[in-house]
Amino acid sequence: MLREAGAIRQVLGPSTDVYSLTTGTTGPVSISGTAVQYEDSLPSPFTGTESLALAYEVQERRTTDKGTTWVEIDSGRAAVPFLLEDETASVLVDPSTVRLGLDTSTTIDVAGGDRPPARIREFIDRTEAVDSEERTWDLKIIELKVGDDRRYIERRLDPGESVTVFGEAHSESGVSTRSGQVNAVLKAGDHPLVLSETTPFRTVFRVFWPVIVVALIGIALLGAAAALVVL
């Protein structure tokens, strides 16, 4: 909990620029800039878009005694190293351990009984969590059997998009491979590495909502205990 609280303070703290890392700045930093492809990229599962970080989610409409609701049946995330570039310089970002606060890039709705697009059919074929007899198709007939409505959501950080990185700066001599790149790396340390496409406050609620819920419950319990003591 203390580690998470420290990360929240980091996200809400002041930001800096990439060039300041050349002066030996280390520890938690917040830097905003443009995501630039470094070496590899990731093809997103539903649209095939080349991205640097992504999170996907598959939701299915389920009917319960209380009505219909969207239920998550599968999700995942991935990221590759990239450069964060601002008007002063660029720095390598190592997202081997990362939390993503990305905006929704694409949502594909597939009604029950409809045949999904080709990439989604391929995804279903290789993903046990979203495959079922009701959702499979005969390649000879090319017909999807009747099932529940589904929603396929991609949240991506694409090359050239704006992003804010909250992480720890580590000086690493010789890591620079390009003109204007500083000899440092942004990555997770005592605090997690966070990639965000929104404001710091929205990032906190989007990425750290479990911590906030626990904190609010704790405050409520303390308040109830204090009231009992007074009584």
180-202 pLDDT, tens digit per residue, is: 999 999 999 887 888 988 777 77
Q: Set out the domains of the chain in order of their start, with CATH numbers.
A: 2-230 (2.40.50.140)
Query: 3-state class of 82 per DSSP?
Result: strand
pLDDT in tens, 33-91: 999 999 999 999 999 999 999 999 999 998 877 788 999 999 999 999 999 999 999 99
Confidence of residue 6 (pLDDT cuts 50, 70, 90): low
Answer for the pair 130, 120: CB distance below 8 angstroms, yes or no. Answer: no
Answer for the pair 156, 54: CB distance below 8 angstroms, yes or no. Answer: yes
pTM of the entire structure? 0.78
Query: 3-state class of 81 per DSSP?
Result: coil
- How far, in Å, CA of 110 to CA of 73, rounded? 15
Answer for the pair 8, 118: CB distance below 8 angstroms, yes or no. Answer: no
